[in-house]
Amino acid sequence: MDYRWILFDADDTLFHFDAYQGLRRMFAVHAVNFGADDYARYQEINKPLWVAYQEGRIGATELQTTRFDHWSRRLGVPAAALNEGFLHAMADICTLLPDARALLDALAGRARLGLVTNGFTALQTARLERTGLLGRFDPVVISEQVGVAKPDPRIFDHALERMGHPPRGRVLMVGDNPHSDILGGLRAGLDTCWLNIHGHPAPDGIEPHHEVPSLASLHQLLLG
């Protein structure tokens, strides 16, 4: 393994991210049987907001509240309160992806580990604490705190500054999202590894240095 540092994405790279079940859990508190059609309508609003957030056109607070505006009016509950309940629900159902802990255990002492995520501070901190992983990563870089999101290379510049400016060729960025994790890593001059669990074709113009179908395969790639 030639990498001094491994930077990981969080959602769907280390942690399961089952937004549907999180929303069902949150809305049940408000006596709403949140179903598949509701989720589809939610995603029609949520996905474009995430694109706007990653492109720097809106901030984290606007994303988190706007996606619940419809339900806020329907239930008479502030959108910010619905968002907070959703984040709590997502923390409650948090689980690690298969082989995540074994990989991190194997890397301990062999590479420095960091986390670079477009997620939100409250949720990511709660997940790291509940899974006992909070002390595994330094730095933990969260877009909500930095003010820019992947694929903007400035979030990686911030991470590298906190890492003491290691050679960029000795840093590997691992993530499941080619449009944020891989493109962002490439723009920052880092080596990249796409965790492509579902076997999707690479988007045009995005060429990761490595591609693996599982964290077990990443383990093999890095450590043999």
Q: Is 9 a catalytic residue?
A: yes
Q: Within a 10 A sphere around the Cβ of 30, how many other Cβ atoms?
A: 15
Q: Which of 198, 199, 152, 207 is nearest to 178 (CA)?
A: 207
Rounded to whole angstroms, the Cα distance separating 177 from 196 reads 8
**Partners of 140 in the beta sheet?**
115
Catalytic residue, chosen from 9, 11, 176, 181, is 9
Rounded to whole angstroms, the Cα distance separating 58 from 180 reads 16
Write out the DSSP string of 183-199.
Answer: HHHHHTT-EEEEE-TT-
Distances in Å between the alpha carbon of 132 and those of 117, 127, 128, 137? 18, 8, 6, 11
What are the structure tokens assigned to 74, written together?
A: 């329907």
Dihedral angle of Cα 164, 165, 166, 168, to the nearest 10 degrees: 150
Which of the residues are catalytic? Answer: 9
